[in-house]
Amino acid sequence: KAGVTQTPRYLIKTRGQQVTLSCSPISGHRSVSWYQQTPGQGLQFLFEYFSETQRNKGNFPGRFSGRQFSNSRSEMNVSTLELGDSALYLCASSLVGQGAGVNSPLHFGNGTRLTVT
């Protein structure tokens, strides 16, 4: 079974631009979460989607948004990029919310490394 796939792997953008990152979850997983990892703040939760609905949201400004499609694939968007948005963005999928999967683990992709210049 294929793992969580994130594209692109690396991205360089300029301050003020916007960016869209893509995530394909493990087949059959309907929960998709996004995390930001920086050297200073570590791994921080951005949001979680299930069946195209945002179920949970972390403490990030409104410039960070996401969505999930009917096939469970997800995208996250960051508008008006700032230098501090440079980070590794990780997507994870899980069976949580699908009956027996209530304690199922998260399966992470290898992330998209975003550099803002």
Partner 1 sequence: DAKTTQPPSMDCAEGRAANLPCNHSTISGNEYVYWYRQIHSQGPQYIIHGLKNNETNEMASLIITEDRKSSTLILPHATLRDTAVYYCIVRVGGSSYKLIFGSGTRLLVRP
Among 48, 64, 72, 114, binds partner 1 (CB under 8 A): 48
Residues 72-101 contacting partner 1, CB under 8 A: 90, 92, 94, 96-97
Say whether residue 42 binds partner 1 (CB under 8 A): yes
Among 13, 67, 73, 107, binds partner 1 (CB under 8 A): 107
Q: Which is nearer to partner 1, 35 or 81 (CB)?
A: 35
Pairing mode of beta strands 10-13, 112-116: parallel
Q: How near is the Cβ of 99 to partner 1 at its closest, in Å?
A: 10
Q: Does 109 bind partner 1 (CB under 8 A)?
A: yes
Which residue, 50 or 64, has its beta carbon nearer to partner 1? 50
Instruction: Determine if 31 is a binding residue for partner 1 (CB under 8 A).
Output: yes
| Cis peptide bond N-terminal to 61, omega within 30 | no
Cβ neighbours for 50, distance < 8 A, ≥ 6 positions apart: 30, 31, 32, 68, 96, 97
